[in-house]
């Protein structure tokens, strides 16, 4: 009988910095659960990365617990994947130091996110902000991940991780898997409800611009009713109708209907009916996540157990590689 092909390994991490938006969920997070069928998945809450900007300690602990609960509520199954909190596996930080010595200053200077974050946090341009792409590389390389789900803003960081792995392998011998990016199937790019020319963002100052996946039904309906449209009355996907195009895109994703079917459904009906229908469909689509999140959040003992088990699995998985790395660079064997 033909030997079963080994599953490829995927690593992905999210920072505990607020609730996912509808755009985050549809564009990325909702797909993570599905990947568990085809890949060996490792999912982490990246709390080490979070402290590159100032955090209030108690809030960080709470946000980390909430983010972990939300990750599980969105479909990541601790029985099928390794789910853990980054800081609970010290190998990430240990490997990051070794890799920083195989990373060039010029490479880090070219990271566009460092430039962007330096402008946003001009009063706290710390060394961690500069070197966190190396920690990101360590996150990935510690698990010999084959694939990393990435968006457009992470391509530069993945390329750096590949360069670091190749450089280390060339100097010390084959040690790391050189990871590839995993580009999810093309999904809708959801735009702001108040300015449909801009991407939906959790940092938007306009509270009505963004749908968060834990928003209750009344809040979701209110935000959609206030969504920017145009002076026309026809629900159809057409150039120049950015607001309606965005709402049609959202409705299509959560219902599975085509644009032609949506146009036919709302023929002769006004924008008010359409906005309400989109809001209802989104609220229904997110209701299972909200319900599961509420259940998990109320069971701190279960969350702690899942974190502990996940961290122990992650630690065991990275121990062998870290011993190899330490030996390759010339450190005396660990006790």
CA–CA distances in Å: residue 275 to residues 147, 228, 247, 292: 38, 10, 8, 26
Write down the pLDDT at residue 152.
67
Write down the pLDDT at residue 2.
39
Is-catalytic flag, 8? no
Catalytic member of 34, 79, 115, 117:
117
By the 10 Å C-beta count (0-12 exposed, 13-18 middle, 19+ buried), 8 is classed as middle
Catalytic member of 7, 120, 198, 202:
202
Is-catalytic flag, 241? no
Domains of the chain from N-terminus onward: 9-187+300-329 (3.40.50.620), 217-294 (1.10.240.10)
CA 327 to chain CA centroid, Å, is 33
Phi, psi of 237 (to 5 degrees): -90, 115
DSSP string across 157-182 = HHHHHHHHHHHHHHHH-S-S---EEE
- 13: CB partners within 8 A, 6+ apart: 43, 44, 45, 46, 49, 86, 139
Write down the pLDDT at residue 5.
66
Tokens of 223: 């935000």
Catalytic member of 199, 225, 257, 324:
199
pLDDT in tens, the chain (335 residues): 334 468 999 999 998 977 788 988 887 788 888 899 899 999 999 999 999 888 999 999 999 999 999 999 999 999 999 999 999 999 999 999 999 999 999 999 888 877 777 777 778 788 988 999 999 999 999 999 999 988 766 788 999 999 999 999 999 999 999 999 987 665 567 899 999 999 898 888 898 999 999 999 999 999 999 999 998 889 999 999 999 999 999 999 999 999 999 999 999 898 999 999 999 999 999 999 999 999 999 999 999 999 999 999 999 999 999 999 999 999 998 77
Which DSSP helix (H) or strand (E) runs through 70? helix 57-73
Is-catalytic flag, 79? no
Write down the pLDDT at residue 28.
77
């Amino acid at each position: 009988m033909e030997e079963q092909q080994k599953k490829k390994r995927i690593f992905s991490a999210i920072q505990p910095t607020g609730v996912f938006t509808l755009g985050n969920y549809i564009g990325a997070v909702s797909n993570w659960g599905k990947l568990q069928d085809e890949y060996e998945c490792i999912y982490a809450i990246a709390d080490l990365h979070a402290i590159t900007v100032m955090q209030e300690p108690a809030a960080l602990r709470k946000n980390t617990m909430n983010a972990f609960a939300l990750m599980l509520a969105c479909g990541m199954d601790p029985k099928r994947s390794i789910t853990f909190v980054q800081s609970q596996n010290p190998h990430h930080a240990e490997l990051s130091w070794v890799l920083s010595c195989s990373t060039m200053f010029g490479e880090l200077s070219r990271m566009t996110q460092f430039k962007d974050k330096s402008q946003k946090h001009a009063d706290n341009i710390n060394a961690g902000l500069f070197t966190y792409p190396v920690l990101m590389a360590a996150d990935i390389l510690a698990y010999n991940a084959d694939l990393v789900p990435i968006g457009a803003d992470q391509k530069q960081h993945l390329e750096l991780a590949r360069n670091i792995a190749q450089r280390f392998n060339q100097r010390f011998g084959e040690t790391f898997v050189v990871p590839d990016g995993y580009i999810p199937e093309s999904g809708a790019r959801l735009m702001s409800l108040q300015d449909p020319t801009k991407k939906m963002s959790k940092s938007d100052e306009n509270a009505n611009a963004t749908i968060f996946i834990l928003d209750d039904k009344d809040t979701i309906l209110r935000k959609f009713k206030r969504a920017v449209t145009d002076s026309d009355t026809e629900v159809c996907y057409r150039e120049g109708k950015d607001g309606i195009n965005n709402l049609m895109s959202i409705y299509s994703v959560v219902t599975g209907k085509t644009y032609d079917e949506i146009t036919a459904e709302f023929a002769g009906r006004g924008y008010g009916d359409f906005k309400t229908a989109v809001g209802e469909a989104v609220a229904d689509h997110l209701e299972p996540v909200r319900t599961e999140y509420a259940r998990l959040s109320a069971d701190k003992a279960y969350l702690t157990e899942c974190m502990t088990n996940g961290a122990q699995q992650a630690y065991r998985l990275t121990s062998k590689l870290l011993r190899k790395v330490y030996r390759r660079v010339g450190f005396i064997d660990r006790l």
